[in-house]
Amino acid sequence: MIQPFTLREHLTMIYNILKNKKSCFETVKESKLPIILYGMGNGADKVINQLEKIDLKPSGVMASDDFVRGQYYRGYKVKKLSDIEKEFSEFIILVCFASQLEDVMENIKKVASKYKTLVPSISVFGDLICDCDFINKYNNNIEKARDLFEDKHSLKVFDNTLKFYFTGELNYLLDSYSDKQEVFSDIIKFRENEKYLDLGAYRGDTIEEFLKYMGSKKYSKIIALEPDEKTFRKLSLYAKKLNNIELYQYGIWNKPDILMFENKGGRNSSIDKNININKKSKAIQVTSIDSILNGNDISYIKFDVEGAEYEALIGGINTIKNFSPKMNIAVYHHCDDFFKLPLLVNSINSGYKFYLRQHPYIPAWDLNLYCVK
């Protein structure tokens, strides 16, 4: 095995965590087994792109039995696992889709119990992967971020996230799961008269979550942003039953601007200054936390803004410095978010305590950073 670390790094925490482990695509290449993609769409496209970089290509594509209807994906006929088993005596499976549905995750675990199965972690937005080059480039920042976390469970999740991203081994992800109830009872701890800023409110599901964990306590105000026009209409319908709520059809960014929004018909829709104009993109208004609040205080902010979390935090520097709101930040849209975003928050306001939690999802699509005073 080619050691991914320099001699100096052999003494570091990262080396100890990843000692004797191979990167996901290194394992795939060394196995010399037929490669079966489990799933289609954008996730599979990204996996194929990575395979091409190491001169490999899939031998087949499979889907769960209920999704096999004789369709083709990139020239491959989509098959059931039973069909793959008839064609190949041995193979390696790469999971190329995401789900938090219990029955779907159970099926993935069932498949993984029978065959070598990896879950490549390629950034939801962009093509960044956690490989040897990634570790060598970011090792210092990874170590600095790890030192910020408050409890043993956060350190376990941090280490398992690094191992899962690097190896693609499902067991590291499964070993990290915890329930959201623990977060809102032991970490966030809502109080009376919370003022809630929901960035990426979608159809109102995270407002509903907020109200659930508020329980009998009364909130003071809810401000919710959602850039997608169709989704915003559904959010508006949901919000009609609520009091003291303000809705804005804005995206969130580091400053007020007009940017391109790529509508993918769901949660993968995103804002990016680098998006090219195409039939699925349109210009939308974006704002910043500091601009939308205009100097007013806020007590709780949720960030799930499809890869724009870094920019959103930059646009809230004054709010975060002056009011130290509790924060719930998605740190899974880019492979470096789980260490980059804690470091950014700490640079803005060093008074926070940091907690990292992975809620059930395959791959690590519900990995969240919780920041409290």
- Domain(s) labelled CATH 3.40.50.720 in the chain stretch across 8-174
- Domain(s) labelled CATH 3.40.50.150 in the chain stretch across 180-372
Q: What average pLDDT does this structure show over 28-41? A: 97
Query: Is 274 a residue whose pLDDT tops 60?
Result: no
Q: What average pLDDT does this structure show over 321-342? A: 98
Return the minimum-mean-pLDDT range out of 7-11, 163-167, 233-237, 243-247: 7-11
How confident is the model at residue 279, as a pLDDT?
54
13 band by pLDDT with thresholds 50, 70 and 90: confident
Query: Is 106 a residue whose pLDDT tops 90?
Result: yes
How confident is the model at residue 3, as a pLDDT?
46
pTM of the model: 0.92
Amino acid identity of residue 194, one-letter, is E
Q: Which CATH class is domain 180-372?
A: alpha beta
How confident is the model at residue 320, as a pLDDT?
98
Mean pLDDT of the chain, nearest integer: 93
Return the minimum-mean-pLDDT range out of 1-15, 215-229, 302-316: 1-15
Q: What average pLDDT does this structure show over 57-82? A: 96
DSSP string, 85-117: HHH-SS-EEEE---B--HHHHHHHHHHHHHSEE
- Are residues 345 and 352 in contact, defined by beta-carbon separation less than 8 angstroms? yes
Query: Is 1 a residue whose pLDDT tops 60?
Result: no
From residue 163, give the alpha-carbon distance in Å to each of 10, 173, 207, 215.
Answer: 16, 9, 33, 37
How confident is the model at residue 266, as a pLDDT?
46
CA 162 to chain centre: 13
How confident is the model at residue 280, as a pLDDT?
64
How confident is the model at residue 10, as a pLDDT?
46
How confident is the model at residue 128, as a pLDDT?
95
Q: Which CATH class is domain 8-174?
A: alpha beta
Query: Is 269 a residue whose pLDDT tops 70?
Result: no
261 band by pLDDT with thresholds 50, 70 and 90: confident
Phi, psi for 225 (deg, rounded to 5): -115, 135
From residue 59, give the alpha-carbon distance in Å to each of 63, 92, 94, 313.
Answer: 14, 10, 11, 43
CA–CA distance, 327 with 344 (Å, rounded to integer)? 13
